[in-house]
A and B are shown apart, each in its own frame.
With several copies, the nearest count.
Chain A
Amino acid sequence: MSVLRSVIDFAIGDAQAEKAVPPTGFTVRLTVFSAAAMAFLVVFALALSLAAGRLADRWSDELARSATVRISAPAAQMAAQTEAALNVLRTTEGVESARALSLEEQRALLAPWFGPELPLDALQLPQMIEVIETASGFDGDGLRLRLAGEVPGAVLDNHARWRGPLVSAASSLRLLGWVSIVLIALATGAMITLAANAALAANAQVIAVMRLVGARDSYIAQAFMRRFTLRALAGAAGGTLFGAFALLLLPSASEEGGFLTGLGLQGAHWFLLILIPILAAVVAFLATRLAAHNTLRSLT
């Protein structure tokens, strides 16, 4: 409560104190601008991260973690070998589940190649087993050796593995997004600190005059802090709004439509954007505070 109270007091401010700081400074405009530009970039980096994250999740869940074992054997041994292969798979580390496909399922799989009218009964079809991997995946070569030993007719085909790199790509994209966000935040903090320092250096005379007529440090610092915090807040809010607007212009993000086409935000993620200006204001507050107290300490 008292924190809220002091935040409100700070925002209302002391009009008299703030008047002491010259109104237009390039440093202040610089703060507004860099806060806005950085917020804009953060919106995009955030959207990129979240979209890449969604992508990585979906791909890894749905696609990457499946493989097939095909068993070709004389009809008499088919059931026994299938059972043996399933046993091997169940005891393999990295396999979440294994399941023999039914005839109907095999027919559906083959339809693209032979059409739906394939005379399956006339054929000696191999039996297919669908294998779902765990997140860490299994060791393909090891499994192949074990199957060769115990189930002579089994062939492991982890063809779906080719999507693995895609998933790791999406993950590294997400990482890149977050790294960018952290970098941008740090850069913004440093820039606001430097801008505040520049403002204080440029206003050395103002500060000296204020000290001379008996102003306390906190009074002087407050004037600068308020100015910079509010400007950073305004700039970042503007930049965020602008970024959000730009995102809306991109093809929208939908669960079904494509993988990365939609770079936009979904649902609750839009609320994350509100954090951007707030964080910018907090960074500006702390940066200016540091700069002001450093500068003041060097004056008598």
Chain B
Amino acid sequence: MIETNGKLRHNRLIILRSDLSAKAVRQKGRKLIEFERVAHSYSGGELFNEVSLRLAPGSFHFLTGPSGSGKTTFLKLCYGALVPSSGVVRIFDDDVRQMSRDDIALARRRVGVVHQDCQFLDHLTLRENLALPLTVSGHEALDDDANLKELMGWVGLTSRADALPPELSGGERQRAALARALIMSPDVILADEPTGNVDWEMSQRLLTLLIELNRMGKTIMIATHDLGLIRAAKNHVQARVLRISGRRLQLAGADL
């Protein structure tokens, strides 16, 4: 199912660029994302509290919990879309509270996010949408073209490259969102329910891609309710499973 040639070529390209960002990480110290006694509540009430966590470089995390327990909220705290109600969140060693809007924009170029509701620019083609992170950060489009093509092949969207997002199926949108999150070869990948709308085979394929990236040193966190996916991953990678339950973030036992 997975062509080894393609995989290698893809990896090489990603490594090429990730050298740069890896250096940046080293200069900044070894911390990527750090929670310190974090609590968050919306107007409705507190979702969780006393959450302390450090995402070490190269780690692989799953985040589970019932619907409405706060998985998406947790991820939003990770990429600065929310500021915690109390406690401290640090992204690349900077306290989110102290970061300017531009700082957050720059940090996001090193964090690939797959939103639960995948949104795109509906007037641009899929290809242009996938290249958007590059465009926005001022990269030359040309030199990333091979990378883009390969990524599209991986997520099975090559034939839809010129379609507009409203013409995509639900699963296609989800795969496109994952591809867009990966195109900048970010240090951290946060994916919110990235396989909710794809069939089992495709979800295995996407998982393999994420595991490959993790092997290359990327830090990965996936919020999902799909226990089958977690079980499948555990066969290939040392993944920690976090569970939000009873307003606490807990490490899930070996029962998964």
Within 8 A of A (CB), among B225-251: none
- Chain B interface: which of A4-12, A14-22, A86-94? A14-22
Q: Are B123 and A22 in contact (CB under 8 A)?
A: yes
Question: When each residue 195-230 of chain A gets 1 if its CB lies under 8 Å from chain B and 0 otherwise, what string results?
Answer: 000000000011011111111111100000000000
Contact A212-B108, Cβ < 8 Å, known A16-B135, A300-B82: yes
Cross-interface CB contact of A214 among B115, B121, B128, B136, cutoff 8 Å: B136
Shortest Cβ gap from A299 to chain B (Å): 9
Whether B216 is near chain A, meaning CB under 8 Å from some CB there, is: no
Q: Answer whether residue B124 sits at the interface, using C-beta atoms and an 8 A cutoff.
A: yes
Judging by beta carbons under 8 Å apart, are A214 and B108 in contact?
yes
Contact partners of B102 in chain A: CB under 8 A? 216-218
Contacts of A213 in B (CB 8 A): 108-109, 132-133, 136, 180
Which residues of B are found within 8 Å of A210, using beta-carbon distances?
A: 121, 132, 136
User: At the interface, yes or no: B101 with Cβ under 8 Å from chain A?
Assistant: yes
Please tell me if B122 contacts chain A, counting CB pairs below 8 Å. Answer: yes
**Other-chain contact of B105, A17, A22, A209, A214 (Cβ < 8 Å):** A214
Query: Does A112 belong to the interface (CB within 8 Å)?
Result: no
A23 within 8 A of B: yes
* Closest CB in chain A relative to B231 CB, distance in Å: 30
24 inter-chain pairs at a CB distance below 8 angstroms, sorted by A residue, are A19-B135, A22-B122, A205-B119, A205-B121, A209-B119, A209-B121, A209-B132, A210-B132, A210-B136, A211-B105, A211-B108, A212-B113, A213-B133, A213-B136, A214-B106, A214-B107, A214-B133, A214-B136, A215-B105, A215-B136, A216-B101, A216-B105, A218-B102, A300-B81
Q: Does B120 contact A (CB under 8 A)?
A: yes
Q: In chain B, residues 97-139, which have Cβ atoms closer than 8 Å to a Cβ of chain A?
A: 101-102, 104-109, 113, 115, 119-124, 128, 132-133, 135-137
Measured CA separation A219–B106 after assembly (Å): 12
In the bound assembly, the distance between CA atoms of A258 and B184 in angstroms comes to 73
Is residue B80 within 8 Å, beta carbon to beta carbon, of the partner chain?
yes
Q: Which residues of B contact A (CB under 8 A)?
A: 76, 80-82, 101-102, 104-109, 113, 115, 119-124, 128, 132-133, 135-137, 180, 184
10 new A-B pairs (CB below 8 Å) besides A20-B124, A213-B180, A217-B101?
A20-B132, A22-B121, A209-B132, A210-B121, A214-B109, A214-B133, A214-B136, A214-B137, A216-B101, A216-B105
Contacts of A206 in B (CB 8 A): 121
A contact residues, total (Cβ < 8 Å)? 22
Give Cα A22–Cα B120 distance, bound, in whole angstroms.
Answer: 12
Chain B residue with the shortest CB-CB distance to A296:
B101
In the complex, chain B residues whose CB is within 8 Å of the CB of A214? 105-109, 133, 136-137, 184
Smallest distance from the beta carbon of B193 to chain A beta carbons, Å? 16
A215 to B121, CA, bound (A): 13
Instruction: Name which residue of chain A comes closest to B139, CB basis.
Output: A16
What A residues does B113 contact at CB under 8 A? Answer: 212
Q: Which residues of chain B are within 8 angstroms of A19 by Cβ–Cβ distance?
A: 124, 128, 135
B115 engages A212 (CB within 8 Å): yes
Cα A213 to Cα B81 in complex, Å, equals: 12
A22 to B121, alpha carbons, bound, how many Å? 8
Complex: A248 Cα to B105 Cα, angstroms: 53
Asked, given contacts A205-B119, A212-B113, whether A219 binds B136 with beta carbons under 8 Å apart, the answer is yes
| Cβ contact within 8 Å between B123 and A300 | no
Distance in angstroms from A293 CB to nearest chain B CB is 10
Whether A20 touches B101, Cβ cut-off 8 Å, given contacts A210-B136, A212-B113, is: no
For residue B135, which residue of chain A has the nearest CB? Answer: A16
Query: Taking each of A19, A209, A215, A216, which has the highest tally of chain B beta carbons within 10 Å of its own beta carbon?
Result: A209
Residues on B with C-beta less than 8 A from A17 are 135
Minimum CB–CB distance for B95 against chain A, Å = 16
Question: What is the CB-to-nearest-CB distance from A57 to chain B, in angstroms, rounded to a whole number?
Answer: 55
Q: Which residues of B contact A218 (CB under 8 A)?
A: 102
In the bound complex, what is the Cα–Cα distance between A20 and B133 (angstroms)?
Answer: 11
A278 CA to B207 CA, complexed, in Å: 56
* Cα distance A205–B122 in the bound complex, in angstroms: 9
Question: What residues on B are CB-neighbors of A20 within 8 Å?
Answer: 121, 124, 132, 135-136
Q: Nearest chain-A residue to B76 (Cβ)?
A: A300
B180 — nearest CB in chain A belongs to which residue? A213
Closest to A209 in B: B119
User: Which one, B81, B105, B109, contacts A217 given CB within 8 A?
Assistant: B105
Kindly report which residue of chain B lies nearest to residue A210, judged by CB atoms. B136
Q: How far is the CA of A22 from the CA of B180 in the complex (A)?
A: 19
The chain A residue with its CB closest to the CB of B132 is A213
A300 with B121: CB separation less than 8 A: no
Which 7 A-B pairs give the minimum distances between C-beta atoms? A214-B108, A214-B109, A215-B136, A213-B133, A22-B123, A300-B81, A216-B105
Q: How far is the CA of A296 from the CA of B101 in the complex (A)?
A: 10
